[in-house]
Amino acid sequence: TEIYTLSLHDALPIYDLPVRAAMPDPLVTDDGKTITTPEQWQQRREQMKQIIEHYAIGHAPPPPGNVTGHERQSKMLTNGVSYRLIHLTFGPGEKLGFDISIFLPAETKGIKAPFPVIVQPSFSAISENPPPPVTNAIAAGTNSAPAKRPPAYHTVITPEAAAKQYTQALNRGYAVVTFYYQDCGADGRDFRPTGFFPAYPGYDWADLAAWAWGMSRCVDYLERQNFADKSKFIAVGHSRLGKAVLVAGAFDERFALCAPAGSGCGGTGAYRFNGQGRGGREGLEDIAKNFPQWTIPRLAEFSGQVEKLPFDQHWLIDLVAPRVFIAPDGLNDTSASVNALVQSYLAAKPAYALLGVPDHLGINFRPGKHMLVPEDWTAILDFSDQQLRKLDVKRRFDQLPPAETPP
């Protein structure tokens, strides 16, 4: 059978792009060819990646190929969990690097290395000596000096406190690797001189791609560790870090499972169903204006004309196929629209079906708001046990939520 040769996408300027109210079909190319075989899908996939890089996230540099790890600390925590702090070094002249924290489960009769490994970019840095929590002295009425606030999205917690957050995963035999996301690139308008960016001046990437690239550098290191099951790297992140996890899962095929939680606009929520006049909640116009560091300026040009986007976010979900994908979300999440995720999920289904893995695509809605809660972890781990480890887990991950309720 003939395999279509897909021409590279001629990146059209935005004013030349056709208006498409419907979600652009991943299984139909711009020149009208229908994708019907896994071989054709492989080619289409490359084209889809180029379109997303060109219009939304920019181009990340290739893997640096020189990641090394140096142990800075190692100790046993309670319940037989072991902790290691490793500093990764890589990049041109080995000038880049960041710390990663590794938590390994206790080995018992049922739990033995190699372990599936969760890679999670985090809002918290891990340190033995976190600074005392900042209290608002004015509000407390104890001091007339203005209260000092830590920078946004930066907390410091102990290894013990971090391990507690991973109790379920560790008890179920999963290792967890985590790092502080802004070590890869600052989460602010003035991000260019920070993190990885100065080392790669020729690249137009932005924060979501850089945070995802940091996750891939963790995998570079983990691939050489005996404790890691190389067939079971799992990407987990919440909110803006869910958006980054979606990019990591879409572009780095070493992630066997991709689980962006509460990722909303710029994540699993379709742009066509997010924002003013399109179902509410945060839309492309809002993220372009408030968080220009996440994506490239070209995406902002679609403000007020999202129907011209040649893709939508279901494409990123489909790039994960035939690997495993789940979106765990809250029904009352004021940042992420339930319907925008449902629309992405429904539009992503045909590609998973074409590849013969309809069960590799999952969603899970629970009551509650914008937080990564224990129920989300249970859903991710149950889905992973069911689909990656092939354990007998009787649970469905294809249930659409009851009609969307206003926040």
Query: What residues numbered 294-353 form the site for ligand GCU, per CB under 6 A?
Result: 335
**Count of C-beta atoms within a 10 Å radius of residue 128:** 11
Residue 35's φ and ψ, nearest 5 degrees, are: -85, 120
Please select the residue that binds ligand GCU; options are 54, 232, 240, 323, rule is CB under 6 A.
240
Give whichever of 170 and 265 is closer to ligand GCU, judged by the CB atom. Answer: 265
**Does residue 182 bind ligand GCU (CB under 6 A)?**
no
Contacts of 196 (CB under 8 A, 6+ apart): 91, 96, 184, 185, 210, 213, 214
Give whichever of 245 and 321 is closer to ligand GCU, judged by the CB atom. Answer: 245
Give whichever of 102 and 265 is closer to ligand GCU, judged by the CB atom. Answer: 265
CB of 238 to ligand GCU, least distance (A): 7
Give whichever of 83 and 271 is closer to ligand GCU, judged by the CB atom. Answer: 271
- Structure-block tokens of residue 307: 């129907």
Nearest Cα to Cα of residue 237 among 227, 245, 249, 248: 245
CB of 395 to ligand GCU, least distance (A): 27
How does 282-318 read in b/e, with b if 16+ C-beta sit within 10 Å? bbbbbbbeebbbbbbebbeebeeebbbbbbbbbbbbb
Backbone torsion region of residue 322, taken as left when φ is above 0, otherwise alpha when ψ lies between -120 and 50, otherwise beta: alpha
Query: What residues numbered 247-276 form the site for ligand GCU, per CB under 6 A?
Result: 264-265
Say whether 132 sits in a helix, a strand or coil. Answer: coil
Please select the residue that binds ligand GCU; options are 239, 268, 337, 344, rule is CB under 6 A.
239
Say whether 235 sits in a helix, a strand or coil. Answer: strand
CB of 286 to ligand GCU, least distance (A): 7
Query: What residues numbered 27-56 form the site for ligand GCU, per CB under 6 A?
Result: none
Number of residues that bind ligand GCU (CB under 6 A): 7
Give whichever of 335 and 364 is closer to ligand GCU, judged by the CB atom. Answer: 335
Give whichever of 236 and 256 is closer to ligand GCU, judged by the CB atom. Answer: 236
Nearest Cα to Cα of residue 249 among 160, 362, 333, 334: 362
- Binding-site ranges for ligand GCU (CB under 6 A): 239-240, 264-265, 282, 287, 335
